[in-house]
């Protein structure tokens, strides 16, 4: 293999790893979002425990929506790494 070709392939690999790492930064926002959702839900459940089933269902839905953003970031990182 020629040097130029090797250099090019190595740089592409480097860019790939950097890109995947940068893409996964987006997960931080989803983490904060899930924290806020669960915090609010726990407070609500502590105030009126009778509504726990309803609150729990809505909490899980909210977590799913917040998590979806993290999953997009993860999917982008996986696609960068393995495609």
Partner 1 sequence: MSAHATPQRRFGFWRWVWLGLMILGGVLAWYVGGIWKAVPPAVVLPAEPAWPGLYLAPGLPFTNTMLSVLVASLLLFALTVIPVQVYVRSGREVPSGLYQLVEMAVEFFWNTTQSAAGKWARRIFPFTMTIFLYVLIVNLFKLVPIHETIGYTKIAHGNIQGYATVVVGGVHLLDGSRPYDAAAHAAEEGAAHGEESEYWHSPEPCENCEIVPTFRGAATDLNFTASLALITMLMVQVFGVWALGPGYFTKFINLRTIISKPFFGLMDFIVGLLELISEIAKILSFSLRLFGVIFAGTLLLSIVSTLSFGGVQPTVFFVPGLLVGLELFVGIIQAYVFSTLALTFMSQATVSHHGDEHSEAH
Specify the residue, 32 or 78, whose C-beta has the smaller distance to partner 1: 78
- Distance from CA of residue 62 to its chain's centroid? 14
Contacts of partner 1 in 3-62 (CB under 8 A): 54, 57, 60-61
Rounded distance between C-alpha atoms, residue 57 and residue 51, angstroms: 10
Under the criterion CB under 8 A, does residue 78 sit at the interface with partner 1? yes
Do 41 and 59 meet the contact criterion of CB atoms below 8 Å apart? yes
Task: Point out which residues bind partner 1 (CB under 8 A).
Answer: 1, 54, 57, 60-61, 64, 67-68, 71-72, 74-75, 78-79, 82-83
């Amino acid at each position: 293999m020629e040097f130029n070709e090797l250099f090019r392939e190595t740089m592409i690999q480097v860019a790939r790893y950097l890109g995947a790492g940068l893409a996964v930064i987006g997960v931080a926002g989803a983490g904060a979002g899930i924290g806020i959702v669960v915090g609010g839900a726990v407070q609500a459940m502590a105030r009126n425990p009778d509504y726990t089933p309803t609150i729990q269902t809505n909490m899980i839905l909210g977590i799913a929506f917040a998590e979806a953003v993290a999953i997009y970031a993860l999917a982008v990182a996986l696609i960068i790494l393995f495609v």
